[in-house]
Amino acid sequence: MDTIWNPWHGCVRYSPGCAHCYVYRRDEAVGRDPAVPAPTSTFDLPVRRDAAGRYVLPSGSVVYTCLTSDFFLDLADPWRPPAWEMIRQRDDLTFVIITKRVERAHACLPPDWESGWHNVRICATVECAEVAQARMRALLALPARHRSVICEPLLGRIDLSPYLGRQIESVTVGGESGPDARPCDYAWVLDLRRQCAEAGVAFRFKQTGARFVRDGRTYLVPRRLQLSQAAKAAIDLPSAHDPI
Ligand code: SF4
């Protein structure tokens, strides 16, 4: 089972990919300040139990963590240690942590992290060439059992080839959604796919985004079709490496 755990909500814009952040869009629509993060009512979800004493999240679940904030946000520093504690306790779950702040991650790891916990996947967002070098170097330097890259919203051509290899398990690519979405050019997607193929890294084209460009022509893709249109391209690649 896949589930979402948002231990805190709210974030501060950090890089080009944040310009049209959906957290900002949704919070501002209801008069809430998205730049003031706070713990949520589901802060303890991983260790929550039902009336029979069983964990609410079943063993084996994949838990997408902190999707309405950033797990390594500095304003969240006080809440992260208890969050790590719950992640440690639920070593039967897989926690997927997607971050634009991978450069901060090393300083935010728990004391007994060592070479990484088997139940945590760190995914660095790399949305454009300007951030690629610093984030990929930080991701590769980070002790972790599982490392992935998310190029979403893909904002331009990115050269990841110097960094791809066994240490990176997958690259996921997608366009931007929302009314002000910036274009995602299929040529950029295919270029990343080629880099992954050459390095033997798993590749996934997750969604087209709302403004998809192919052969110089722009297509406005409704939200409900963005995933299925990407799937129709059928360009995903498996990894050529054994899991680390
Ligand atoms: S890091 Fe993520 S959640 Fe935070 S502002 Fe940027 S896009 Fe939004």
Count, residues in the chain = 244
Residue nearest to atom 6 of ligand 1 (CA): 18
Q: Give domain status of residue 64, yes or no.
A: yes
Atom of ligand 1 nearest to the CA of 23: 8
Q: Give domain status of residue 241, yes or no.
A: no
Q: Give domain status of residue 191, yes or no.
A: yes
Q: Give domain status of residue 239, yes or no.
A: no
Q: Give domain status of residue 75, yes or no.
A: yes
Domain containing residue 151 = 2-233
Task: Report the pocket of ligand 1 as residue ranges, CB < 6 Å.
Answer: 11, 13-14, 17-18, 21, 23, 69-70, 100
Nearest CA to 156 among 206, 79, 213, 104? 213
Q: Give domain status of residue 93, yes or no.
A: yes
From CA 185, how far away is CA 199, in angstroms rounded? 22
Q: Give domain status of residue 240, yes or no.
A: no
Domain count, the chain: 1
Ligand 1 centroid to Cα of residue 216, in Å, is 29
From CA 152, how far away is CA 173, in angstroms rounded? 6
> And the tokens for 83?
């969050």
Atom of ligand 1 nearest to the CA of 67: 3
Cβ–Cβ under 8 Å, residues 61 and 3:
yes
- Tell me the per-residue pLDDT of 214-231, one tens digit each, with 9 for 90 and over: 999 999 999 999 999 999
Report yes or no on whether pTM surpasses 0.85.
yes
Q: Residue 231 CA to chain centroid, in angstroms?
A: 19
Q: Give domain status of residue 244, yes or no.
A: no
Cβ–Cβ under 8 Å, residues 18 and 174:
no
Report percent pLDDT > 70 for the chain.
99
Ligand 1 centroid to Cα of residue 109, in Å, is 20
The average confidence (pLDDT) of the chain is 97
From CA 226, how far away is CA 175, in angstroms rounded? 9
Atom of ligand 1 nearest to the CA of 15: 6
